[in-house]
Structure 1
Amino acid sequence: MVVDKVAVMARIAVIGAGMGAMAAAARLAVAGHRVVVYERTETYGGAVRRFERDGFRFDTGPGLLPLPAVQRDLFVKTGKEPLEDCVQLTQVDPSSRHVFVDGTEVSLPNASRAGVVTALDAALGAGAGQRWGDFLVRAREAWDRTRRPLLEEPLWPNWQVLAEREPYPAVPHKRLLRTRVAGTLTEVGAWELRDPRLAALLESHALAYGLDPRTAPASAAVLPYMEHAFGTWYVRGGIRELARAVYERCLRRRVEFVFGAEVTGVAEKDGRASGVELADARVAEADFVVAGVAPQTLSRFLPGTALRPQSGVAPQRGLPSRLTVLLALRGGRPEGTAHRTVVHAEDRETELDLLFGTPGGVAARPTVTVLRPDDPTLVPDADHEAVTLVSAVPARRGEVDAAHVENLITVAERAVPGLRERMLWQEVRTPADIEETTGAVGGAIPAPALASAGGRLLHPANTTGVPGLFTVGGWSHPGGGLPHAGMSGALVAGLIVEGPDFRGSQ
């Protein structure tokens, strides 16, 4: 597909006000184009939302920020005020606390290999930290091999190279007189880490992104490496404050937002995208259209066209959703409490069988992430605490069983003693709520792009088979998660402004 470089001001229509879409809008506006964002709901941020009640405030989407360099780059490239002038960023330390099924606990320091090695040795026994540290060295090699093609460059035309080549340098493992190397994340845990608790620690990183570690390629090792190398960060006031800052940056760059504007189609003229059709029968003309919507929604926008990804890469399928339980507690947050605690499933194999089986189900005692931010802006006073529970569940349109919510609270009591006695009220956010917010069927949540695995964990290119139509956000290259969605905005802006000569972020 040939994409002409834009030398003069163009009219650009952006569908959706998600984080990737707003990143693209701000960058395109700085390049001198007239950008209008059409958002179906009444607010910005996509899945990055907030719930408020009785002086409590909760993120209902992501609760932590990995790889903040992506957001820093956005603010550097779109204005004079750096990211830290617009939001208050703090490193979360410890990065995470883990409660294993045998009762063992460990707190992992943030962005400190030596600290993590020491903590694991002390909690799990001598040698555990060294094995994890050696794994991180190999994971870094996989990161170095895939960082640019999977995060900073448009999807390669010969993407099959990424699909076939496993970048993780697995350690040869002799089994039954045969020498094998790990091909999946589960095999990495079993053969290289050799401790069920280390394996659970490793696999929890895949599960957090909605991936089955038994089928996720060894290249998924980049997920824990990314957190280890670049730290885990929190935005004071919640990640919703980051969405606010990006939205305000767009406004300062004169991006126009039209809320409550439902797009029903992409207009075409002479075989090229020429604008968007709105529910009130208006057509907003544009020279380029940037769609930040789920693939099923985009397909509905072009009913007369057999829309296929221009790259030939199909959207990720079979991904789960997320159940989020917001808890308002009496009593303040104890000093020294970890921001994030992962309580591991009692039976991980059963949990994965149910979650990724057909039809999907949920384990009675699943893996639960407990978020307890040290942030006074989230509570009415120091005598209260805001706690969020998060667990992966199958993508579905029906209601979530109330018994499962109770199970999550029971699991969380292992991390928060006396939890039920402290509860004032609870609020639940289900896959149906995510579907309503994002348009993804069943509330499915896209995972970041990963190499190998035959390409099934890649995402379609940001260009499409329709000239002038681009895709942005978690359902297109380079995939889901705040850093990847933010990079999709940078890539789309580069493809529109620079055309076919664009080779990626610098």
Structure 2
Amino acid sequence: MARIAVIGAGMGAMAAAARLAVAGHRVVVYERTGTYGGAVRRLERDGFGFDTGPGLFTLPAVYRDLFLKTGREPLEECVELVQVDPSSHHVFADGTRVSLPNASRAGVVSALDEALGAGAGRRWGDLLVRAREAWNRMRRPLLEEPLWPNWQVLAEREPYPAVPHRRLLRTRVAGTLAEVGAWELREPRLTALLESHALAFGLDPRTAPANAAILAYMEHAFGTWYVRGGMRELARAVYERCLARKVEFVFGAEVTALAEKDGRAAGVELTDGTVAEADFVVAGVSPAVLDRLNRGTPVRGDGEVPAQRPGASRLTVLLALRGGRPDGAAHRTVVHSADRDAELDALSGDTGRAAAPTVTVLRPDDPALVPDAGHESVTLTAAVPARGGDPAARAEQLITVAERAIPDLRERLLWHQVHTPADIAEETGAEDGAVPPPALAADGGRRLHPANSTRTPGLFTVGGWSHPGGGLAHAGMSGALVAGLIVEGPDFRGSQ
């Protein structure tokens, strides 16, 4: 039985802790804040409840596997999973609206043809077929296996199928998601639909590689899911599974340094100077924090995937509304920006024209989130630059955009509260509250995340800032990969 110290109680860290405990190890989690879940938090006020982190997720199989491998009770006995239908409702810049059924290709094709014109659905369906091919090429190396030692192969190869485009008598192949939309969809509203999946992770489609199209495919293929009571319930279930497997949690315990002995990770040092000895250390913190804990010495060596620079963050506005949720209201509505280029310039740090962002409006049909049937809990989210900007002004901007989805919003508004990038930084420790995107191939490796193993023996990394990147499903997979590397050793080849 090995002693394992886990830094942080985020979703990836808890997923690793539960699996390691089941394997017979003594696991202690040290969390500097007073609770678990990382960015998966919940705010309660006046009988209203809100998710301040992810509001929906895809790939529930990742957490079904976690619960299958760590106990008798399956995931569905610990939380109530709800498949959201329609998957999303879209309000485009010109006022066009369309609702997309959940995980139904024929339904989506029909809906797009009706709303956007004949042929729109076919073009979207053809794109999903190509995205599926890219997913099949990427699924194992970028989700289910430890990062390859020869990761450069993934950095050089674009897995999205080449669809030549002739321009000025020259044949070109799309290298970015924006080019995929412009050349294959040839319809600005369809392009906005595609790009919204990248924007949800703060990715600029003008620079994101073409294989970012898999983000749309994953939602289409595996559905969009909600946990009754809010996504915080998923974090609670994982935490309780850890407790059932005898994982120990120490809250309010900030790790200030890594302990090392004979060139190997040997535990963690806490703020009071005590050292908790361990045979392995699993760090669920951002790369900058981990290097600082390593007394300023980078834990990554030359030739390894460099840590991604902190990019976009997320602004969330929590709305308490008088009046019940209308019948037929979509759980998720995406209100697309009226000035796409200005939005992307602002997101990438260009301080030029101010632009209203693409806003996701979440209206869960969930009695647990409201004081009674005469009120509604609504959450607005948008990707924003990690640095700069006035949160209050941005929040007002989001509310104005959301009126396109909820026309009587201001008349019904009792109060609102803003969850800012600074709040995310406090909860997760990530620089400027940056939100990590999932790993993607190509683009010279700039979209990959560092391997879960490090050049310090016994030190492993987990969570959104290490392979396979951000998002609930990817965080859960990082926990499975770290547990496999510790239990089975360097010959571990990935989840089966």
TM-score (structure 1 length as normaliser): 0.97
Write out aligned runs for 1:263-274 (5 A). 263-274=255-266
Q: Counterparts of 2:298 and 2:155 in 1: how far apart (Å)?
A: 25
Distance verdict in 2 for CA 1:403–1:362, change over 3 Å? farther
Match of 2:63 among 71, 85, 91: 71
Cα displacement (A) at 1:306: 3.6
Write out aligned runs for 1:211-290 (5 A). 211-290=203-282
Cα displacement (A) at 1:400: 2.8
Q: Counterparts of 1:412 and 1:149 in 2: how far apart (Å)?
A: 39
Does residue 448 in structure 1 map to residue 438 in structure 2? yes
Does residue 438 in structure 1 map to residue 421 in structure 2? no
Cα displacement (A) at 1:357: 2.8
| Counterpart secondary structure, 1:186 | helix
Does residue 30 in structure 1 map to residue 30 in structure 2? no
Which residue of 2 is the match for residue 365 of structure 1? Answer: 356
Cα displacement (A) at 1:361: 7.4
Q: Counterparts of 2:495 and 2:256 in 1: how far apart (Å)?
A: 32
Q: Counterparts of 2:62 and 2:398 in 1: how far apart (Å)?
A: 33
Q: Does structure 2 conserve the Cα–Cα contact (< 8 Å) formed by 1:309 and 1:460?
A: no
Match of 1:40 among 12, 32, 39: 32
Q: Counterparts of 1:401 and 1:305 in 2: how far apart (Å)?
A: 35
CA-to-partner distance for each residue in 1:396-417, whole Å, 9 max, x for gaps?
Answer: 2x67342221111010000011
| Counterpart secondary structure, 2:490 | helix
Q: Counterparts of 2:70 and 2:270 in 1: how far apart (Å)?
A: 29
Q: Does structure 1 conserve the Cα–Cα contact (< 8 Å) formed by 2:50 and 2:318?
A: yes
Amino acid at match of 2:493: R
Q: How many residues align?
A: 496
Cα displacement (A) at 1:303: 1.2
Distance verdict in 2 for CA 1:437–1:378, change over 3 Å? same
Which residue of 2 is the match for residue 500 of structure 1? Answer: 490
| Counterpart secondary structure, 2:6 | strand
Distance verdict in 2 for CA 1:474–1:12, change over 3 Å? same
Structure 1, unmatched stretches of 5+, are 1-8
| Counterpart secondary structure, 2:489 | helix
Cα displacement (A) at 1:501: 1.5
Match of 1:174 among 166, 171, 181: 166
Which residue of 2 is the match for residue 62 of structure 1? Answer: 54
Which residue of 2 is the match for residue 384 of structure 1? Answer: 375
Q: Counterparts of 1:393 and 1:362 in 2: how far apart (Å)?
A: 14
Does residue 50 in structure 1 map to residue 42 in structure 2? yes
Distance verdict in 2 for CA 1:304–1:221, change over 3 Å? closer
Q: Counterparts of 1:387 and 1:55 in 2: how far apart (Å)?
A: 13
Cα displacement (A) at 1:318: 4.5
| Counterpart secondary structure, 1:475 | coil
Amino acid at match of 1:502: F
Q: Does structure 1 conserve the Cα–Cα contact (< 8 Å) formed by 2:310 and 2:436?
A: no
Q: Counterparts of 1:143 and 1:433 in 2: how far apart (Å)?
A: 34
Q: Counterparts of 2:366 and 2:352 in 1: how far apart (Å)?
A: 34
Q: Does structure 2 conserve the Cα–Cα contact (< 8 Å) formed by 1:355 and 1:362?
A: no
Which residue of 1 is the match for residue 449 of structure 2? Answer: 459
Does residue 321 in structure 1 map to residue 304 in structure 2? no
Amino acid at match of 2:470: G
Q: Counterparts of 1:306 and 1:335 in 2: how far apart (Å)?
A: 54
Q: Counterparts of 2:353 and 2:51 in 1: how far apart (Å)?
A: 23
Q: Does structure 2 conserve the Cα–Cα contact (< 8 Å) formed by 1:310 and 1:464?
A: no
CA-to-partner distance for each residue in 1:245-276, whole Å, 9 max, x for gaps?
Answer: 00000000000000000000000000000000
Distance verdict in 2 for CA 1:309–1:365, change over 3 Å? same
Amino acid at match of 1:20: G
| Counterpart secondary structure, 2:190 | helix
Amino acid at match of 2:397: N
Q: Counterparts of 2:208 and 2:57 in 1: how far apart (Å)?
A: 23
Which residue of 2 is the match for residue 427 of structure 1? Answer: 417
Q: Does structure 1 conserve the Cα–Cα contact (< 8 Å) formed by 2:349 and 2:385?
A: no
Amino acid at match of 1:250: C
Does residue 151 in structure 1 map to residue 143 in structure 2? yes
Cα displacement (A) at 1:24: 0.1
Q: Does structure 2 conserve the Cα–Cα contact (< 8 Å) formed by 1:310 and 1:460?
A: no
Q: Counterparts of 1:55 and 1:306 in 2: how far apart (Å)?
A: 46
Cα displacement (A) at 1:112: 0.3
Q: Counterparts of 2:235 and 2:178 in 1: how far apart (Å)?
A: 35
Match of 1:109 among 96, 101, 104: 101
Which residue of 1 is the match for residue 334 of structure 2? Answer: 342
Does residue 412 in structure 1 map to residue 416 in structure 2? no
Q: Does structure 1 conserve the Cα–Cα contact (< 8 Å) formed by 2:342 and 2:355?
A: no
Structure 1 range deviating more: 187-196 or 399-408: 399-408
CA-to-partner distance for each residue in 1:82-111, whole Å, 9 max, x for gaps?
Answer: 000000001000000000001100000000
Q: Does structure 2 conserve the Cα–Cα contact (< 8 Å) formed by 1:311 and 1:464?
A: no
Does residue 185 in structure 1 map to residue 177 in structure 2? yes
Match of 1:302 among 273, 294, 309: 294
Amino acid at match of 1:38: Y
Match of 1:130 among 122, 128, 131: 122
Distance verdict in 2 for CA 1:304–1:231, change over 3 Å? closer
| Counterpart secondary structure, 1:411 | helix
Q: Percent identity?
A: 80
Structure 2, unmatched stretches of 5+, are none
Cα displacement (A) at 1:309: 5.1
CA-to-partner distance for each residue in 1:28-69, whole Å, 9 max, x for gaps?
Answer: 000000000000000000000000011100000000011100
Amino acid at match of 1:139: A
Q: Counterparts of 1:418 and 1:186 in 2: how far apart (Å)?
A: 34
Q: Counterparts of 2:397 and 2:338 in 1: how far apart (Å)?
A: 12
Cα displacement (A) at 1:310: 7.5
CA-to-partner distance for each residue in 1:416-451, whole Å, 9 max, x for gaps?
Answer: 111001000101000000000111111001000001
